[in-house]
């Protein structure tokens, strides 16, 4: 395995340095897509050793992830590690995902959070539980945390998949399109980490959008 990490980041200047530094020992390269930040996110990421690709204006997480995937396409990598730049995905958990990918030869390994009502903000708890249940039913997977953006994906499995997402639904689109191609999906438990920057996800609006788009990706697209 030769793994490149892709981190889509928007105004994560206070945490991105720690995320990059914690991830670098486990992968061959770290690419941060600075999605129109105004707080020095790109400079902090570069100082920590990441390759930085910059969007002049904020374009959304889905576009940033797609930009990151394009940036590593010809680098000779076998897998991509996707994680957020706000410390809600802990770099210390990266080795678990990579080990599962290596040991099982899975196409996708998802870092699954335990949905603990006592540890999660109420809106995040219900949006994740409902969203994961709905998506799991659509694609017939037993994965508990289908909306987790903390994942390792075999790049050859993604080849030829026309991703079109612009927002947080990019994780859903990937899983549905990969499942339709027969990709194997596994999960490993990761820690809940809500002590970093506040999430930019709008639970009700973004989860509703994701569920509707999941229906579109599942039934009304070819690839």
* Structural domain boundaries in the chain: 3-219
**Which is more confidently placed, 92 or 220?**
92
Q: What percent of the chain has pLDDT over 70?
A: 72
Out of 3-7, 26-30, 55-59, 198-202, which region has the weakest mean confidence (pLDDT)? 198-202
Token pair 């290596």 is at which residue?
A: 102
What average pLDDT score do residues 84-99 get? 96
**Cβ atoms 22, 48 nearer than 8 A:** no
Q: What is the pLDDT of residues 111-131, one digit of tens each?
A: 987 655 555 555 555 555 555
Alpha helices per DSSP H over 34-168? 41-47, 61-72, 94-104, 122-139, 155-158
3-219 CATH pick, 3.90.550.10, 3.40.50.720, 3.40.50.1390, 3.40.109.10: 3.90.550.10
Neighbours of 92 (CB within 10 A): 13
107 DSSP 8-state letter: S
Query: What does pTM read for this prediction?
Result: 0.81
Residue 204: pLDDT over 90: no
Q: What is the pLDDT of residues 31-51, one digit of tens each?
A: 999 999 999 999 999 999 999
Q: Alpha-carbon distance 55 to 160, whole Å?
A: 24
**Which is more confidently placed, 82 or 171?**
82
Q: What is the pLDDT of residues 117-167, one digit of tens each?
A: 555 555 555 555 555 665 665 566 666 777 789 999 999 999 999 999 898
Closest of 9, 3, 180 to residue 77, by C-alpha: 3
The three-class DSSP label of residue 47 is helix
């Amino acid at each position: 395995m030769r793994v490149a990490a892709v981190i889509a980041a928007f105004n994560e200047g206070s945490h991105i340095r720690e995320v990059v530094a914690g991830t670098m020992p486990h992968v061959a390269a770290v690419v941060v897509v600075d999605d129109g930040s105004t707080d020095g996110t790109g400079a902090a990421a570069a100082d920590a050793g990441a390759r930085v690709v910059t969007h002049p204006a904020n374009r959304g997480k889905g576009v940033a992830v797609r930009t990151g995937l394009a940036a590593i396409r010809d680098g000779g990598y076998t897998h991509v590690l996707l994680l957020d730049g706000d410390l809600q995905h802990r770099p210390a958990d990266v080795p678990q995902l990579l080990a599962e990918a290596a040991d099982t030869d899975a196409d996708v390994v998802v870092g699954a959070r335990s949905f603990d009502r006592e540890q999660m903000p109420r809106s995040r708890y219900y949006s994740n539980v409902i969203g994961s249940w709905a998506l799991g039913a659509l694609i017939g997977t037993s994965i508990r945390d289908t909306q987790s953006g903390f994942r390792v994906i075999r790049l050859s499995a993604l080849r030829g998949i026309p991703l079109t997402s612009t927002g947080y639904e990019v994780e859903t689109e990937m899983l549905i399109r990969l499942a339709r191609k027969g990709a194997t999906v596994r999960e490993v438990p990761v820690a809940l980490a809500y002590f970093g920057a506040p999430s930019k996800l709008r639970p009700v609006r973004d989860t509703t959008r994701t569920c509707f788009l999941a229906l579109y990706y599942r039934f009304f697209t070819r690839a």
